[in-house]
Structures are given as C-alpha cells and as structure tokens.
Amino acid sequence: MGNIIYHYGVERFGDQLRRSGEAATVPAKSRRQQEIERLVKEQRQLRKQWKKASDAEREGLQLLQGEIKTRLATLRKAENLRKLRKKKERTRTQFFKNPFKFVKDLFAPEKVEP
C-alpha cells in the first residue's frame, strides 16, 4: 500500500532527492542591510570621482558624500538596535527556559589552556 502511494506521488509530483551535508541556508538580507550595502558602494564611487574631479565639482561631491554619510549613520544605528533587541530577546528566552543553567553558564569560570 505504501509503495503504491509513493509511486503515485512520484509520477504526479516528481522525485526530489535529499542533499546531505548541505550548509544551512543563509537568510535573505533585510531591506535595511541591502540599502547599507548600496550606500557603501555609492560612497566608494563618489570617493573615486572626487579624486579625479576639479575644484568646482568637488564641492558638489562633498555634499553628496555628506548626505550618504548621515543616511548610513541612521541605518547602521537602527540595524544595531535591532540586533541588540534580538540578542536581549534570545537571552531572555534562555533564562526563562532554564534559569539555573543560564546562571551557571553566566558565572562559569573560563577554561584556561596550559
């Protein structure tokens, strides 16, 4: 009976083999992380343009660099706050799950290699 169901499923939906030893999937980057990467690339390009530019163009490029710098600062601050909030949440759940183990791990002396 099990074989009949299995073969029917293979015929209908196809056979998918398991991949052993495959690394865990990396979560997709958030919108904020993607924007940070884009701004860093843009900052590098502006720096290269600034080195080649004339004095008149350099003023405009500096304004653009300043805007990117402030935007990057706010994005990075928000991202760090998000990471800190997640870390606090993880430690809180660990504590409530097993408070004695949490405290033991917290105050356990570090192992020193001779």
**Structural domain tally of the chain?**
1
Looking at the domain assignment, is residue 79 inside a domain?
Answer: yes
Verdict on whether the full-model pTM lies above 0.85:
no
DSSP designation for 2: H
Judge whether 20 lies within some domain.
no
How far is it, in rounded angstroms, from Cα 21 to Cα 12?
A: 28
pLDDT at res. 7: 85
pLDDT of res. 32: 94
Q: Which residues have C-beta within 8 Å of that of residue 27, sequence separation ≥ 6?
A: none
For 108, the 3-state DSSP assignment is coil
Model confidence at 61: pLDDT above 80: yes
CB 78 within 8 A of CB 32: yes
Quick check: 22 pLDDT over 70? Answer: no
Domain for residue 98, yes or no?
Answer: yes
The label of the residue with tokens 């020193």 reads 112
Residue 85's domain spans which residues?
31-107
Residue 1 domain flag: no
Domain assignment of residue 17, yes or no: no
Residue type present at position 56 = A
**Which whole number is the average pLDDT over 17-42?**
84
